[in-house]
Every structure is written in structure tokens, then in C-alpha cells.
Amino acid sequence: MKDFIIPQFPPGSDPQDERDMGTPARSGAPVSLSIDGFAVTVPEGTSVMRAAAEAGIMVPKLCASDNMEAFGSCRLCVVEIEGRKGTPASCTTPVAEGMVVHTQSGKVKRIRKGVMELYISDHPLDCLTCAANGDCELQDAAGQVGLRDVRYAPGQNHFDPSGSGARSQAEARLRMPVDQANPRYVPKDESNPYFTFDPSKCIVCSRCVRACEEVQGTFALTIEGRGFDSKVSAGAATDDFLHSECVSCGACVQACPTATLQEKSVIEMGTPHRSVITTCAYCGVGCSFKAELNGDQLVRMVPYKHGKANRGHSCVKGRFAYGYANHRDRILKPMIRDRIDEPWREVEWDEALAFAAGRMSALQQKYGRRSIGVITSSRCTNEETYLVQKLARAVFLNNNTDTCARVCHSPTGYGLGKTFGTSAGTQDFDSVEKADVVMIIGANPTDGHPVFASRLKKRLRQGARLIVVDPRRTDIVRSPHVEAAYHLPLRPGTNVAVVTAMAHVIVTEGLVDEAFIRERCDWDEFQHYAEFVSQDRHSPETMQPLTGVPAADLRAAARLYATGGNGAIYYGLGVTEHSQGSTTVMGIANLAMLTGNVGREGVGVNPLRGQNNVQGSCDMGSFPHELPGYRHVKLPDVRKIFETAWGVEIDPEPGLRIPNMLDAAVEGTFKGLYCQGEDILQSDPDTHHVAAGLKAMECVIVHDLFLNETANYAHVFLPGSSFLEKEGTFTNAERRINRVRRVMAPLNGFEDWEVTQALANAMGANWTYTHASQIMDEIAATTPTFEGVSFALLEEKGSVQWPCNEAAPEGTPTMHVDHFVSGKGHFIVTEYLPTDEKSGPRFPLLLTTGRILSQYNVGAQTRRTANVVWHPEDVLEIHPHDAETRGVNQGDWVRLASRSGETTLRATLTDRVAPGVVYTTFHHPATQANVVTTDFSDWATNCPEYKVTAVQVSPSNGPSDWQECYNEQAERARRILPAAE
């Protein structure tokens, strides 16, 4: 069923085996025993229950599950062992050499039946009308033990609301329609939007409590009271599920053997009868899910036990927040209009494509070949992204292609490319289980990458140490059972100074791994770098006034990272989205090389990717200077490969980046844009400038699920298909290529790549792909790191991590194992240059932005789900001191102003942020936090400096002028005239 612990399969077993083996797998010396006369050999430490399961013998159980440690409370799994007294529980009894076990003796069968009878004496007999009917382990166990009768007379119980001796809740309601007469009966808790908690069906097996602790690591559940009064409680006495510490990851619902914790969708729609394994379309963790359906109706998403990124775990977004795919806001018919102040006109596909193709071609004729371009999406598949950049290069005949990774992880590509030789993270997620010291820089994994955070927390509870470098006290700094050894709360914009100061400590205190550096890295570059960081101006003490980080803490953190065993760095957009984003990435790579923390499990440099396919969209040649596989468009031999494959001549000049496209549009030289699955108006910095650029274009084609904010400036709207409606692949943060499978037909009629192909063909191309796999075949044929990848291989392996080629036919979990991909690792000097965005008298505070667990990116998906109960609006976090001097109280409306613009939102007072720093999220278009952010960007890649904006906060009465003006424009731009019948 689910296995959060890395499953280990004995040779010959089926790796896709979905049975619940009862207890986690162990690794150890082989132990042989006999179970019911069958010889079994399992690793030392394995339970008798699991050993039996390996032999195909399923011992009845209720409280055991193979994703959590054995508990031994249900007493159903008892067995007899020759030479031992009594009837031990098979889940808590480890195997021993020569052991002879009987799972079906008359004695244990009698005990199991008696135990089952007791369970059922306090359980309603409503199976036929129960939501778990057919999917209930209690029901299964009753069948297994042959329960035929319950001899206990009706007595005190938890299930009968009437207290009238009814044996089922249906009967109780007939006897007394009002739930009142039984003080032990507790009605359902329906506060969580996605699942219900019905204590009347609970058998108190503690699986939910243990799942919350061991798998998710939140500890939101407990058993309250004792004895017959024991019951599961979310949070403390006054909490319900919604108001408890529960993060709605769904692990408890999955663990529950009865209908006590049950998805509302199953209650409403019935148990699903078919399932398709696919990949979540939210963050860059790339969790594998089983989409469970009835026909084409999606009933629920359940994390897939054998998913190698998530190991059977999930978060609230992937598990529950898929309702946007069927939301009434989905646009399913193509629409066009001549001017953006006109209402939309619904048309047939042919007309829309002809209109779009005609306009784009005409623009090229009038303004030149380079006057139009594309933006690829990190939410779409590799195959779709590949086709969109191919559209620019092979049909538009220019390199005007860019991607939303421009605004998030482009510095990662640049920085890791320069130092390690590959634009990607070095590890797989399993690696965290071998880490001893984890350093998180500018990432908030419990909100942004929750499934990785759960895996990390599990490792931290085992004793790994944690360093957090972040201006905010994020949850991972301190949450139940996890506490960072050091939190370095730096001032926004001083990442390079902090990372260089850490290198100063490591070098000057002699903590470098010289053997590693001599063998793996360029020695001259190292010496130059060591001399640079050793200068006193980089010492933690000298840097302290600038960074705000106490020098003693920084020194201690650097020592811990360098000497604490396997050191692993995980970082996020708090590193990249700065004017020196690329420099910080290189500084991080330097730290890993200095300490020899590259090239094996448990170490490495790991970017936590924001969107599901950021890695893939970068790999697929979305950038204007690179063809697929990060090869420069200036290189004739690279162009030759694609010119041969595509039968066109490729422009050797790099094209425009997104900010350049917008600048050129304002200047009047860039006129047409095909934007797939990205909302640049909301997500990109300096909204005024984005709006001005879009307004100046003569043909904006938006290809999306919804009429997003960018579509307010579009002339053509092409309906998109959700991840549930198409075939393809996503590549997650660990370079893992995961299959996305079509679980239902596209609601708009076409998968996104088909629409791109139709547009290309309407512009004169002759593309003839009939399945996404053919696009992957073309990628593999042209791109060396993908050489071995095919849909057939992915079917066989489940997933592979690139590079996947002749040298690594099964992919590459850990990179740079024997040597760096580029030969030698390169140390690069990281000179700290303060950003031009400085706080001053007019704008004395520094704003940094981020996101929250329940919402995702611009919120286009999550705002259209019940997730809004957790985060209905963006709020501004401000330190109580800063609030007090401004007369701002908790919950007040405030005006947030920068040099770029202003917006209004509510304030919340918290010491999570330091004085002088404020923080907000960018999930809601009503707030438009990016009206405030500036057009400063990373020196190397133009990645915007979202994380530092000098602002002022003052009390406010209502929306800003821009908000009012924009809302009016948006309302006008969204009018739709239905097609004439």
C-alpha cells in the first residue's frame, strides 16, 4: 500500500508489488526460518509478519503498516513460534535463525476471532452504506479470521448515537433521530475541506497518529484519554482538524484502516475502480501518485508507494488540491479578438489557429524575423516545452525563447554549470537519508517542498544537524522535534557575504578537504580563491555589521558544515532571486568543493525547484542562448545536429530573454508572443513594466487553462490541458524524468503539444507527431544527456535520472562520483557587491517574498481549490517594533510602497521576521505583490531580484489606485461573447 521507508526488494520479487508488507524493510545479514512449513530467508531485523508476507502469507493485522514502525497494539497478528511461550505479535517479533512459525494454528485462530469480536462489539454494522465499503481493512480482517457472530450484548459503545442498543447507525437513527442519548458518541469532524474524521468508526489502532509522527513529522494527532475513553484527537482539546497543527498531507487518511478518516471525494463519489500512475504537477519534488478513478471521474489522488521521489508520501497540494482541473473557470473553447479592449469571441480551433498564425507571420513580414517569440512553461511537459522552443527556432527562425525559469532558477543553471559543469542538482532525494549536516539556504521546504521537508525532518529526528540561512525564522528552524543547530538570520541581499564568510572560516581554520581538492578541482583556481576568501574583509567579524549575522554563530555553523560528516546543501529561490543570485550559487558550490561534499550519497548541492518541470524546461533548450542539453546556439556543430533533424537553418544569434522581450516591446521592436502556461503579468517583477510591454504587442497568444492575468492583454486564447489530460514527462529537482500519464481525455480536445503542433503547421511547418513519445525520441536523438531515454525505458524503470546514456543506461542518481562532469571542479571568486536596491529614509524596510504551504505560485491552481480556507489572501508579515512605530495593528490594512509601485494588503505582526524586514506571498492577483518589486536582476542571468525590495509600510484605508485601475481593466478584458450558433 505505501512505504515511506526505502523499500528493498529481494531478487526476483516484483518491484511494483503494492501489498502492505506490515512492517518496514530492513537491511542486514540473511536469516532463514520456516513459516507454515515454507522456508523463508530475510534480512536480520525483519519482523515475522514481513517475513511471512515475503513468502506470500498475509497474517491478519490492523495496527501495522509497512510505512511505519511496528506498534503491537491490535493483537490480531499473533502467531505461535515453536519453543517459545505464548502467542507473540508477529509485527513486533524479529526473525531468528531456524525459527519455526505457525500462523494458522487452532490456538491463534481462536485468539484472532476473539479479538475481532471485541473490535466489532464497538463498531457499527453499517458496512453496506459505509464510504469504505470494499476498501476497509477491518472488513478484510473480519473476513480473514472468519468472524461469524458477535456474542456481546449491546452495551456501552461509541457508535450508537441513540444509546438505544442499536447495532448500526442506520438502526439508531430510526430509533432516535437526534444524536443525543449516548455521551460517548462523538459526531463527525468535517472541518477539513478534504476529509472527514468519524470517531464512531475508530478502532484506536493509532495508525493515523503514527503516520503523522513518523511519515509526515508534524505530530498533529494524539490519543486522548485512556482505556475505553481513548480517542484520536487532532491538536488539543479545543481544536478540530482544521484548527489543529494538521497540514492536511493526507498520510493519516491513507493510513486509516477504516472509514474513520475518509476523503470527502470518496464519500461523495464511491470507491474508485481503476488507477493510473502519474506525476504531480505542483512543485519540483515531482511526487508519484496513483490517480484513482471511476471511468473518467477522478475520485482521489493517492501517493504511489514506489514513487522514487516521494516514497509514498504527499502534501496537501498533490493529494487534494486537484479540483482546479475541473473548475468552472476553465476555458475550453479557443477565443480571439482584434484589440484587447474588445470582448473575447469564441471560435473554432481552425479559425483561432489561422488567426494566430496569420498575425504572427504578418508581424514577421512587417517588423522582421526577430520581432516575435515564445515563452515556454515549467508547468508543461518536457515534450511540450521542447516543441515550443522548436516553434521559435524552426518556424519563427529565431532564438526568442525563454521560460519562467528565468525568474526562478536561471542562476542555478549558470552557477552550477560554471563550477561543476552541469546545470543541475547533484543528488537524488533519497540522499538526505545519509546526510549528517544539512544546510538550508534561502528555502522554506515545509511550505514550498513539503514532501522533501518530511523526509528531511525524519533524518533530523534521527540525529542529523541542521543549519538554516534565512532572513525569516521559517518553520524548519524550530518545529516539534526539529530544531536547527544554527539559524543565521541574514539581512536580505547579503547571501554572498555570508557564504564567502563561511568559506573564510573553512579556509583560515584549516578545515578544507585538501585531498579532494587536489584530486578533483583545479588547484591553481583553488589557491587563488583561498587567498581571496582569507582576506580579513571576508571574516565573519568584519561582515557582521553588514549581514546582521552574529560572527560566532557563523563560525560555528561553518565548522559544523565542514566537520560534521556528510554535509548536504539545499537551497531555493532565496539564493537565486537576487542581483547576485548566480554568485551565491557559485559560492555554495565552492563550499561543497572546499569540504569534499560532492560525489557521493548524503552530500551535494541541491536546488529545490519551484515548479514541477523547471529542471525539464531548462533542459529542453528553453533559454534563448541554448539548444536542448545546455549547448550554446553559437556552436556550429550543435546547430548542425538540430538543423539536420529539423531541416531548417538555425539562427546563430542568441535571442531575447523575457525582460528583453518586454523592453523591446515597449521600444516597438518586439510585437508578437506565444506564451504557454505562464502568467507573466502576475509572476514577473515590476508589473507596470510587464503590462506596458504586453500592451505594446500586436499579437499575444496565451495558451493556458484559465483566463490568467496575462490574458487580459492577449489577442488569442488557446485552451490548455491539465496534467491529468496528457501524456509526457516532467523532470524534477533531482533530474528524475517521471512519466505523466493521461488519466482522462483532454477537456478542450487536445493535449498542449498538439496545439503547439497545429500552430506550427498553420504557420507552414509540417510536423507529424502523433504521440508525445515521438517527441521524446527526437529529444533523445539530439541531446546526449537524454540519449537513452524513451517512454519504453520509463515504463520499465518507473523513472530515470539524467544523464541517461550509454555510459549510464539506467540513469545517474548521484553526479560527479569519480570526477566532475567538466573534468575539474572550478572555484570561482565571489566578490560581494551590494544590490543597488537599498533601504533609505523614504523606503526604510526590506521586503522579501515567498510562498505558503497551501498555495502555489500565482495561485492559478490552488486559488481554485478548497485550499483557500488556509490562505484566503496575501498578508504582510511585519515585526511588532516596526508595526508599532507606524501605528499598524494586527490585521490592519496597510499600504506597501516601493520605488516601483504600491499595493495594499493586511498586516500580521510576528517576530518571525527581524526588525527592518517585511515579508509577503504572491499568490493572489488582488494583491499583486509584484507591483512593488523592481526590475533589478541577477547580473548573469537576469533572474529578478524578488527577494529584496526597499519599501515603506503605512496604514491604509483601501486598494491602491493601481489595484482599482487594474481591476477595472481586467474586468473589461475578460468579457466573452459566445460563438454565434
Partner 1 sequence: MHHDAQAPTENEIRAVAAPLASLEGPLLPMLHAVQHEYGCVPEAAVPVLADLLNLSRAEVHGVVSFYHDFRKAPAGKHILRLCRAEACQSMGGQALAEATLARLGIGWHDTTANGAVTVEPVYCLGLCACAPAAMLDDRVVARLDAARLDRLLAEAGA
Q: Are 212 and 241 in contact (CB under 8 A)?
A: no
> Which one of residues 238, 766, 768, 957 is an interface residue with partner 1 (CB under 8 A)?
238
CA-to-CA distance for 939 and 585, rounded, in angstroms? Answer: 13
- Which residues share a beta bridge with 285? none
Which helix (DSSP H) or strand (DSSP E) does residue 950 occupy? strand 949-955
- The answer to the question of residue 236 lying near partner 1 (CB under 8 A) is yes
Distance of CA 574 to the CA centre of its chain: 16
The residue (of 110 and 478) whose beta carbon lies closer to partner 1 is 478
Q: Are 680 and 658 in contact (CB under 8 A)?
A: yes
φ and ψ of 950, to 5 deg = -75, 125
- The answer to the question of residue 273 lying near partner 1 (CB under 8 A) is no
CA-to-CA distance for 79 and 90, rounded, in angstroms? Answer: 6
CA-to-CA distance for 547 and 908, rounded, in angstroms? Answer: 25
Q: Which stretch binds partner 1 (CB under 8 A): 233-241, 271-279, 400-408, 426-434?
A: 233-241
The residue (of 234 and 681) whose beta carbon lies closer to partner 1 is 234
- The answer to the question of residue 908 lying near partner 1 (CB under 8 A) is no
- The answer to the question of residue 237 lying near partner 1 (CB under 8 A) is yes
The three state secondary structure string of 636-654 is HHHHHHHHHHHCCCCCCCC
- The answer to the question of residue 244 lying near partner 1 (CB under 8 A) is yes
Write down the least CB distance from residue 483 to partner 1, Å: 6
Write down the least CB distance from residue 239 to partner 1, Å: 7
> Which one of residues 479, 542, 761, 790 is an interface residue with partner 1 (CB under 8 A)?
479
DSSP E strands in 829-922: the ranges are 845-850, 875-878, 893-897, 902-909, 917-921
> Which one of residues 226, 510, 840, 958 is an interface residue with partner 1 (CB under 8 A)?
226
CA-to-CA distance for 953 and 913, rounded, in angstroms? Answer: 15
Q: Which stretch binds partner 1 (CB under 8 A): 115-123, 226-234, 544-552, 583-591?
A: 226-234
CA dihedral 136, 138, 143, 145 (to 10 degrees): 150
> Which one of residues 224, 795, 836, 911 is an interface residue with partner 1 (CB under 8 A)?
224
The residue (of 241 and 623) whose beta carbon lies closer to partner 1 is 241
- The answer to the question of residue 219 lying near partner 1 (CB under 8 A) is yes
Binding mask 482-521 for partner 1 (x = CB under 8 A): xx--------------------------------------
The residue (of 218 and 722) whose beta carbon lies closer to partner 1 is 218
CA-to-CA distance for 616 and 753, rounded, in angstroms? Answer: 15
Return the C-alpha cell found at 972. Answer: 473589461
φ and ψ of 362, to 5 deg = -65, -40
> Which one of residues 19, 369, 478, 842 is an interface residue with partner 1 (CB under 8 A)?
478
The residue (of 483 and 831) whose beta carbon lies closer to partner 1 is 483
- The answer to the question of residue 880 lying near partner 1 (CB under 8 A) is no
Positions in 84-143 near partner 1 (CB under 8 A) = none
Write down the least CB distance from residue 229 to partner 1, Å: 9
Binding mask 541-580 for partner 1 (x = CB under 8 A): ----------------------------------------
The residue (of 237 and 980) whose beta carbon lies closer to partner 1 is 237
CA-to-CA distance for 210 and 251, rounded, in angstroms? Answer: 9
Return the C-alpha cell found at 342. Answer: 474588445
User: What are the C-alpha distances in Å from 300 to residues 137, 270, 291, 722, 855?
Assistant: 18, 10, 6, 16, 19
The three state secondary structure string of 518-537 is HHHECHHHHHHHHHHHHCHH
> Which one of residues 103, 233, 262, 848 is an interface residue with partner 1 (CB under 8 A)?
233
**Burial letters for 441-453: b for 16+ Cβ neighbours within 10 Å, e otherwise?**
bbbbbbbbbbbbb
The residue (of 213 and 263) whose beta carbon lies closer to partner 1 is 213
Q: Which stretch binds partner 1 (CB under 8 A): 238-246, 276-284, 524-532, 871-879?
A: 238-246
- The answer to the question of residue 539 lying near partner 1 (CB under 8 A) is no
Q: Are 758 and 750 in contact (CB under 8 A)?
A: yes
Write down the least CB distance from residue 478 to partner 1, Å: 6
Q: Which stretch binds partner 1 (CB under 8 A): 229-237, 430-438, 498-506, 579-587?
A: 229-237
Name the amino acid, one letter, at 444.
Answer: N
The residue (of 166 and 482) whose beta carbon lies closer to partner 1 is 482
- The answer to the question of residue 766 lying near partner 1 (CB under 8 A) is no
- The answer to the question of residue 643 lying near partner 1 (CB under 8 A) is no
CA-to-CA distance for 927 and 841, rounded, in angstroms? Answer: 25
The residue (of 83 and 227) whose beta carbon lies closer to partner 1 is 227
Write down the least CB distance from residue 880 to partner 1, Å: 15
- The answer to the question of residue 221 lying near partner 1 (CB under 8 A) is yes
Query: Roughly how many angstroms between the first and final C-alpha of the chain, as a whole number?
Result: 51
User: What are the C-alpha distances in Å from 581 to residues 236, 499, 590?
Assistant: 43, 12, 14
The residue (of 191 and 969) whose beta carbon lies closer to partner 1 is 191
Q: Are 319 and 250 in contact (CB under 8 A)?
A: yes
> Which one of residues 41, 73, 222, 761 is an interface residue with partner 1 (CB under 8 A)?
222
- The answer to the question of residue 218 lying near partner 1 (CB under 8 A) is yes
Ramachandran quadrant class, 700 (left: phi over 0; alpha: psi -120 to 50; beta: rest)? beta
Residue 827, SS3 per DSSP: coil
- The answer to the question of residue 245 lying near partner 1 (CB under 8 A) is yes
Write down the least CB distance from residue 197 to partner 1, Å: 13
The residue (of 380 and 460) whose beta carbon lies closer to partner 1 is 460
Q: Which of 829, 795, 737 is nearest to 276 (CA)?
A: 795
Q: Which stretch binds partner 1 (CB under 8 A): 228-236, 288-296, 520-528, 638-646?
A: 228-236
> Which one of residues 110, 274, 369, 481 is an interface residue with partner 1 (CB under 8 A)?
481
Q: Which stretch binds partner 1 (CB under 8 A): 113-121, 230-238, 775-783, 865-873?
A: 230-238
Binding mask 150-189 for partner 1 (x = CB under 8 A): ----------------------------------------
- The answer to the question of residue 234 lying near partner 1 (CB under 8 A) is yes
DSSP E strands in 29-98: the ranges are 30-35, 38-43, 80-81
Write down the least CB distance from residue 807 to partner 1, Å: 47
> Which one of residues 225, 358, 368, 668 is an interface residue with partner 1 (CB under 8 A)?
225
Q: Which stretch binds partner 1 (CB under 8 A): 220-228, 709-717, 740-748, 841-849?
A: 220-228
Q: Which stretch binds partner 1 (CB under 8 A): 10-18, 152-160, 224-232, 739-747?
A: 224-232
Write down the least CB distance from residue 158 to partner 1, Å: 16
DSSP label at 836? S
CA-to-CA distance for 44 and 891, rounded, in angstroms? Answer: 57
Angle at the Cα of 261 from the Cα atoms of 258 and 267, rounded to 5 degrees: 90
- The answer to the question of residue 235 lying near partner 1 (CB under 8 A) is yes
Count of residues that bind partner 1 according to CB under 8 A: 24
- The answer to the question of residue 480 lying near partner 1 (CB under 8 A) is yes
Q: Residues with Cβ < 8 Å from 495, sequence gap 6 or more? A: 441, 442, 469, 574, 575, 578, 580, 584, 587
User: What are the C-alpha distances in Å from 36 to residues 56, 115, 347, 820?
Assistant: 11, 22, 69, 53
- The answer to the question of residue 239 lying near partner 1 (CB under 8 A) is yes
Under the rule (CB under 8 A), what is the footprint of partner 1?
218-226, 233-239, 244-245, 478-483
